[in-house]
Amino acid sequence: MPRAEVLALFGPTAVGKSALAHAAALELGGEIIVADPFQRYRGLEIAADAPSERERAEVPYHFVGDLELTDASSMGEYADLASARIADVLARARVPVVAGGSGLYVRGALAELEFAPRASADVRASVERLVANDPHAAKLELGELDPEAGRRVDTKNPRRLARALEIARSGGSRADELWTAPYRRPSLLVGVDRPSEYLLGLIETRVHRELRDGLVAEIETAIDTPGFSREAAQIIGVKEVRQLRAGTLAEAKLPERLTSRTRRLAYRQSALMRLLAPQRTIDLETYADPLWALPTLLKAWGDA
């Protein structure tokens, strides 16, 4: 087997993978390719738990703050950009370290995927109307156009149903290849995990830290930005702050609501671990500092 050229880490939110990736990049002379759609947006640093200025001064980070709040984005676009950036990092004799909580974006950075062309504005508007007015009909149409996507996509999620139907109407599907397409380059994918109860505590701690750091004010500014993109608006916190403004969510309930949504995200990310099929898994157990596992990670990289 050829020597691994790309190191990648994936795990649920708050597990400690970002700190581990940062430390590995420092040790290996690496650069971090962030696989997170929300860290790309300037103005959502708290909500996206983006790397600090100190961290970015220590290690080069790619795809952090490279988009305006008004910019649209897609995984297909990211995959092309990430592939080119990884090639550039390797050409400079550095180690690309892919790290993120989005399993789809990790796959986009690593794998040779083909994407359907981006849906036209007319197709997108038509699909959104159908999903809003008759989700059952939208589900039936998706099943007819792309039976595999119809089986795999969570059709109870309006956003995912609309995106899948946009792809199907545009003449393409990514369902079959998304989890099976080969890597572009020899890569070591390491799954990072913790016991679920301990992880839930870390999530609650993060939510309270973000609120102290000014999460609500940051999101209010984003919401008030003319042309705030629908992609950026999917980040956890936007829905809740809009409910606060509308008076349908009490401020005292905000931490609980954010924690609950973030925990559900972590569960989905843990489930994606099986689909990503990492070559190695590191259990950070209940150690507060994830860097105790750095020697294990470096040895795995040395052996890859």
Tens place of pLDDT for every residue, the chain, 304 residues? 689 999 999 999 999 999 999 999 999 999 999 999 999 999 999 999 999 999 999 999 999 999 999 999 988 899 999 999 999 999 999 999 999 889 989 999 999 877 666 677 888 889 999 999 998 888 888 888 877 777 777 777 888 888 888 888 876 655 556 778 899 999 999 999 999 999 999 999 999 999 999 999 999 999 999 999 999 999 999 999 999 999 999 999 999 999 999 999 999 899 888 889 999 999 999 999 999 999 999 999 999 9
Are both 29 and 85 inside the same structural domain? Answer: yes
293, 192: one domain: yes
Q: Which domain holds residue 161?
A: 121-169
Same domain, 131 and 222: no
Cβ atoms of residues 153 and 145 within 8 Å: no
Q: Is 152 helix (H, G, I), strand (E, B) or coil?
A: helix
- Of residues 34, 37, 182, 10, the one with CA closest to residue 111: 182
pLDDT given for residue 175 in this prediction:
54
Same domain, 58 and 126: no
Q: Are residues 290 and 216 in the same domain?
A: yes
In a domain, 262, yes or no: yes
Judge if 156 and 221 occupy the same domain.
no
230 and 285 assigned to the same domain? yes
90 and 149 part of one domain? no
Residue 176 lies in a domain: no
Do residues 136 and 285 both lie within one domain?
A: no
With respect to residue 284, please indicate whether it lies within any of the assigned structural domains. Answer: yes
pLDDT digits (tens, 9 = 90+) for 211-258: 999 999 999 999 999 999 999 999 999 999 999 999 999 999 999 999
Is residue 241 located within the same domain as residue 143?
no
What count of other Cβ atoms lies within 10 Å of the Cβ of residue 187? 21
Is 64 part of any domain?
yes
Answer whether residue 175 is part of any domain. no
Where residue 12 sits, what CATH number does that domain have? 3.40.50.300
E-assigned strand segments in the chain: 6-10, 30-34, 61-62, 95-100, 187-193, 280-283
Give the per-residue pLDDT at 115: 65
Among residues 169, 190, 208, the one where a domain terminates is 169
Both 161 and 98 in one domain: the answer is no
Residue 161 forms part of a structural domain: yes
Token representation of residue 149: 């996507």
- CA quadruple 121, 122, 125, 130: dihedral positive or negative? negative
In terms of phi and psi (left: phi > 0; alpha: psi -120 to 50; beta: otherwise), the region of 187 is beta
3-state secondary structure of 59: coil
Any domain includes 177: no
User: Cβ-count burial of 264 within 10 angstroms (0-12 exposed, 13-18 middle, 19+ buried)?
Assistant: exposed
**Would residue 1 count as lying in a domain?**
no
Domain count of the chain?
2
Tell me, yes or no, whether 126 and 270 share the same domain.
Answer: no
Closest CA to 34 of 88, 82, 92: 82
